Amino acid sequence: MSHTQLIDSMYDAFSRGDIACILAQVAPGASWRQSKMLPWGGDYTGPEGAREFFAKLAAEMETTAFHAHQNIEVGDEVFSFGYYEGRSLSTGKTAGSEWMFRWRIADGKIAGYEAYIDTAAMLAVIAPKTAAVG
């Protein structure tokens, strides 16, 4: 299986809600990172860290659309570009954003994941706006 095929299989698993399939492909020391500005973001390690990431994401957002448009494989890395849309479980509002993921592969497993997404778009729908105190 090529690196790109491995990453495509991760997207297929995410689309069908099969997080266990994704976790089985994450190496024990893998780094997993998304902006700490997001409630599910931060720095995680290995399958347990990735599991925590997905649990936090699921507690905040219901994914309504997820599409990878392009993968570019360079050596042991795959750079993916796509679109995510989700509905906030706390407000019911929906946000969408283009994203870029950087994947590192070692020995046929995911050794690293970094996500770049429009955090402002996601944060805008998570918490209701509060009135200014004056």
What contacts 128, CB < 8 A, 6 or more positions away?
90, 91
User: What sign results for the dihedral spanned by CA atoms 120, 43, 29, 50?
Assistant: negative
For the chain, the structural domain boundaries read 3-126
Q: What is the pLDDT of residues 107-117, one digit of tens each?
A: 999 999 999 99
The confidence score (pLDDT) of residue 132 equals: 44
Q: What is the pLDDT of residues 12-57, one digit of tens each?
A: 999 999 999 999 999 999 999 999 999 999 999 999 999 999 999 9
Domain covering 3-126 in this structure, CATH number: 3.10.450.50
User: What is this structure's pTM?
Assistant: 0.89
